[in-house]
């Protein structure tokens, strides 16, 4: 989770580590709220995935929000199936550190989740967050429905305008449809609940994210 020299470009599928067929074994339940990490989830729940640097602190941001049912950390956006943490750290999997967020849209809106996402990290830094360098720390949003994708793009445009007004650069967040999510090892899951004084390197830009047109702020 700390500064180390790593590749700063995503490897091709041919260059990526081969990984494995078997999933990593993880705990069945969320350490904080006891919910099933892999489901089944309540009817009507939706899922979205966020990458915003070191996933230890990123996951805590979301499990604290009312209406978020389950969070989990894993590896996503790359090529290597069922990658280990060490493999992801090598920069040879293409994955970013991702947070799975399962939420009740009747209690918390996607706009509220996105406001947290944009404000709690710097989405203009490319393959890094602060001193955390490498492709695994890139900013990313992976959606699971067309409706989510539309809202995400609207929020990106709104936040880009807000950043520009403050003299900051273009958003580099990778946005796309969610591909496979590979759960990280159990010790990473809800890490900062187990280790309250653990490392968290997240830092936002200080620029507030506008709530989308026609969406009331909670």
- Ranges of each domain in the chain: 46-133+144-194
pLDDT average, residue stretch 106-114: 98
Among 92-96, 167-171, 211-215, the range scoring the smallest mean pLDDT is 211-215
Report the phi/psi class of residue 53: left, alpha or beta, with left for phi > 0 and alpha for psi in -120 to 50: left
Sign of CA dihedral 207, 157, 50, 52: negative
3-state SS string for 24-51 = CCCCCECCCCCCECCCCCCCCCEEEEEE
d(CA 190, CA 86): 19
Q: Indicate whether 214 pLDDT > 50.
A: no
Closest by alpha carbon to 99, among 39, 148, 147, 57? Answer: 57
Active-site residues, by number, are 54
pLDDT average, residue stretch 50-56: 98
d(CA 108, CA 105): 5
- pTM given for the model: 0.94
- Residue 131, CA distances (Å) to 5, 128, 137 in order: 10, 7, 10
- Predicted confidence (pLDDT) per residue in 156-210, tens digit: 999 999 999 999 999 999 999 999 999 999 999 999 999 999 999 999 999 999 8
Architecture category of domain 46-133+144-194 in CATH = 2-Layer Sandwich (3.30)
Predicted pLDDT at 5: 56
Predicted pLDDT at 7: 79
């Amino acid at each position: 989770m700390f500064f180390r020299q790593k590749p700063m470009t995503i490897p091709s599928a041919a260059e990526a580590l081969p990984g494995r067929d078997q999933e990593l074994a993880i705990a069945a339940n969320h350490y904080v709220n006891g919910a099933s990490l892999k489901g089944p989830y309540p009817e009507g729940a939706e899922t979205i995935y966020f990458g915003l640097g070191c996933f230890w602190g990123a996951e805590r941001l979301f499990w604290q929000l009312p209406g978020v049912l389950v969070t989990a950390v894993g590896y996503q956006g790359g090529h290597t199936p069922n990658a280990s943490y060490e493999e992801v750290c090598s920069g040879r999997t293409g994955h970013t550190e991702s947070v799975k967020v399962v939420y009740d849209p009747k209690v918390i809106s996607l706009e509220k989740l996105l406001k947290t996402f944009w404000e709690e990290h710097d989405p203009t830094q490319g393959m890094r967050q602060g001193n955390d360098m490498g492709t695994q720390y890139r900013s990313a949003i992976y959606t699971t429905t067309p409706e989510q994708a539309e809202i995400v793009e609207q929020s990106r445009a709104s936040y880009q305008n807000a950043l520009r007004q403050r003299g900051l650069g273009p958003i580099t967040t990778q946005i796309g449809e969610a591909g496979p999510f590979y759960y990280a090892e159990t010790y990473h899951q809800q890490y900062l609940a187990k280790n309250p004084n653990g490392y968290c390197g997240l830092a936002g830009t200080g620029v507030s994210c506008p709530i989308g047109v026609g969406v009331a702020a909670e």
